[in-house]
A and B are shown apart, each in its own frame.
Chain A
Amino acid sequence: MSAEVGFRPEPFPVAARTALADAQLRRNLGKATTTIRAKRAQVVGELDDWEALREAGRALKERVLRHLDDYLEQLEESVTQAGGHVHWARDAAEANRIVAEIVTGHGEREVVKVKSLTTDETGLNEALAAAGVSAWETDLAELIVQLGRDASSHILVPAIHKSRAEIRELFLRTLDVDELTDEPTELAGAARAHLRRKFLSARVGVSGVNFALADSGTVCVVESEGNGRMCVTLPDVLVSVMGIEKVVPTWRDLEVFLQLLPRSSTGERMNPYTSFWTGVADGDGPQEFHLVLLDNGRTDVLADRIGRQTLNCIRCSACLNVCPVYERTGGHAYRSVYPGPIGAILTPQLQGIDRAGSLPFASTLCGACYEVCPVKIDIPEVLVHLRARVVEHAAGTRPVPGPEALSMRALGWVFADRRRYEAAQRAARAGSVTISRHGRIRRLPGPLAAWTEGRDAPTVARQSFRQWWAARGGAR
């Protein structure tokens, strides 16, 4: 899960090739995206004030982000006042070190974890392992991914690439069970029994955060299985890690987000369980609470006036389910904790253009992601903005222009003069007759082959528009 640090990941077009060749992945993804898309459309359609809710969600996020310093200070004060401890982490390593120190400081060797993209982003499990601490993922899909030493393929349903038969085999191999069918009810039952023992014995829980309220210090975790409730209620010590953008001004503002999130995410009117706690509650739940505020590149996103809206994201994953690119490649091809359209804009901004510069191009700019986004992130706008930055970055770092820059320069020279342009058209027409088949060209010759690597090129028309216009008598 921690593909975020270390070596430079493969670019998207290379990674996508593997995914596209995986028939089961494509079948499962097709089913998942189609099903969740339909459920979302139905429950969103029930609310005639959906657009007003989206606009309020967007505006609240804008208010938070433009005054993030104020709200973070307020949050720190209210959490502290409620008996919690607040830690500031500039990057992943610092966040991981803080969590590891809290765990080992209590002499513990095990923690139970609620699914959290933020701690996946920091690679917390690996960092804890290095500190001698086992982190048990307790969300069913995360458990499947962890036991299989696999990677998540979808924000909401991370193990969607696995079939029930594979999960059965995995559980038989790794859990303490003798007999098991591949019925999902039975597989879930095996996970329940396995993790119940962990829940009852673990003294430290680790969670992410969906929302944290600046005014009261209340923290909120939204989930379905009850593993979240277990992790935030049973242990003596609770550590919650949140990106700094997750702060929300007041309790009242949740009347917006608690409508937007479940309907956009799972396509339910409400998710099964939502937990709220404020610091430490006397006699109820963990008696020691730590909140870790993580930057890890977020202030860089904040500084970019167009990119800033990316931090509106409430991690619902609606944009994944409507994306024609994601639907075909799945999450692995993005080589990031954050896949799909939101990943294509968030990952390059968090990790840097030089590490994830292919991702802003993993989109057709169809705009479906913007239409379903509950907090109105204009993803196509940010994609285009980032593409420009990638091109500028390439121009600034390459000693000699790359093939794309060269061909664009050549095209510019041809387009600049009518005679040159017409001569090129004639040449292309003559050439394309010899290499096209059924009106398509599968492979262009020479350096142009790069263009047909990922697509067919159409055959050049027999007649140019100017020739056709002249033939029918011009502007009579």
Chain B
Amino acid sequence: MLARVRAALRDVPPDEAPKDVPVERGYRTRDDAPPGELIDRFAERVEEYEARVLRVDADQVAAAVATACAARGARRLVIPHDLPAEWRPDGVELVADRVGAPLDHATLDGLDGALTGCALGIAETGTIVLDSGAGQGRRVISLLPDYHLCVVGADRVVGSVPEAVAALADAVAAGRPLTWISGPSATSDIELDRVEGVHGPRTLEVLLVG
């Protein structure tokens, strides 16, 4: 097959290297808006996807988790084993997914929700990125339960897609799986009417901290 590819490219001079084909990166690679503005934009754009955003102080995360769970009657949440202690509320049963003793899919499917952190948020697109780093756990834990509550530190909000890509380069190089999440699962497949929630979590809530 490679021989066929090479035969098809006979018009390419043999001494041409890939970098000899010019790529002009004339687009914006960073957003220089002040941090406050970026954080507001992030919150606004996440909400445009019909996800709820709650802004809380750093010492109120656990209380906000408890309130959010009580509001929707969520009693049992899966958490990654390394979720920060100060995010864990009383009154909600937290089921930890541990390395070496992972929860099976049926168990995860039976839980009310997932509580995780994230790697970063993108203001431009209202996107949350999980990169399998600290406080995020395996991909499946934020997938099977019908409710995802995600804690996003305001200091983790970047302006644009190129800034996010740059910040995630190490995680990719290390071979870690990534999930980019922009609002709850959605479809417009039936007569183009948007429905929030098909296979992924039908409810996404974001606790924006700081």
The answer to whether A and B come from one shared complex is yes
Tell me, yes or no, whether B203 is within 8 Å of chain A by CB. Answer: no
Q: Which residues of A sit under 8 angstroms from B45, Cβ to Cβ?
A: 269
Tell me, yes or no, whether B125 is within 8 Å of chain A by CB. Answer: yes
Q: Which residues of A sit under 8 angstroms from B185, Cβ to Cβ?
A: 224-226, 272-273
Contacting A at CB under 8 A, from B110-144, are 122, 124-127, 132, 138-140, 143
Q: Which residue of B lies closest to A278 (CB)?
A: B175
A53 to B24, CA, bound (A): 9
Contacting B at CB under 8 A, from A61-108, are 62-63, 66-73, 82, 88, 90
* Chain A 47-66 interface mask (CB, 8 Å, partner B; 1/0): 00100110110011011001
Q: Which one of A159-167, A416-424, A430-438, A464-472 is at the interface? A: A159-167
Q: Which residue of A lies closest to B180 (CB)?
A: A274
Report A68 CB to chain B, min CB distance, Å.
5
Q: Which residue of B lies closest to A227 (CB)?
A: B199
Tell me, yes or no, whether B193 is within 8 Å of chain A by CB. Answer: yes
Q: Establish whether residues A251 and B27, one from each chain, have CB atoms under 8 Å apart when the complex forms.
A: no
Given contacts A88-B1, A225-B200, A229-B143, contact A283 B99 (CB under 8 A): yes
Tell me, yes or no, whether A299 is within 8 Å of chain B by CB. Answer: yes
Q: Which residues of B sit under 8 angstroms from A199, Cβ to Cβ?
A: 199
Q: Main SS of chain A's interface residues?
A: helix
Q: Establish whether residues B198 and A191, one from each chain, have CB atoms under 8 Å apart when the complex forms.
A: yes
Contacting A at CB under 8 A, from B121-174, are 122, 124-127, 132, 138-140, 143, 161-162, 165-166, 168-169, 172-173
Given contacts A200-B109, A225-B185, A295-B4, contact A192 B198 (CB under 8 A): yes
Tell me, yes or no, whether B15 is within 8 Å of chain A by CB. Answer: no
Report B10 CB to chain A, min CB distance, Å.
8
Q: Establish whether residues B1 and A293, one from each chain, have CB atoms under 8 Å apart when the complex forms.
A: yes
Contacting A at CB under 8 A, from B1-51, are 1-2, 4-12, 16-19, 21-29, 45, 49
Q: Which residues of A sit under 8 angstroms from B186, Cβ to Cβ?
A: 224-225, 272
Tell me, yes or no, whether A144 is within 8 Å of chain B by CB. Answer: yes
Q: Establish whether residues A188 and B5, one from each chain, have CB atoms under 8 Å apart when the complex forms.
A: no
Tell me, yes or no, whether B106 is within 8 Å of chain A by CB. Answer: yes
Contact-size category for B: 35 or more
Residue from A158, A162, A254, A269 having most chain B Cβ neighbours under 10 A: A269
Tell me, yes or no, whether A279 is within 8 Å of chain B by CB. Answer: yes
Q: Establish whether residues B179 and A270, one from each chain, have CB atoms under 8 Å apart when the complex forms.
A: no
Q: Establish whether residues B172 and A251, one from each chain, have CB atoms under 8 Å apart when the complex forms.
A: yes
Q: Establish whether residues A269 and B143, one from each chain, have CB atoms under 8 Å apart when the complex forms.
A: no
Closest 9 CB pairs of A and B: A226-B200, A52-B26, A303-B8, A226-B199, A270-B125, A141-B189, A225-B198, A226-B185, A63-B21
**A residues with CB within 8 A of B:** 28, 31-32, 35-36, 49, 52-53, 55-56, 59-60, 62-63, 66-73, 82, 88, 90, 138-141, 144, 157-160, 162-164, 167, 184-185, 187-188, 191-192, 195-196, 199-200, 213, 216, 218, 224-227, 229-230, 233-234, 244, 249, 251-252, 254-256, 258-259, 266, 268-279, 281, 283-285, 293, 295, 299-300, 302-303, 305
**B residues with CB within 8 A of A:** 1-2, 4-12, 16-19, 21-29, 45, 49, 99, 102, 105-106, 109, 122, 124-127, 132, 138-140, 143, 161-162, 165-166, 168-169, 172-173, 175-193, 195, 197-201
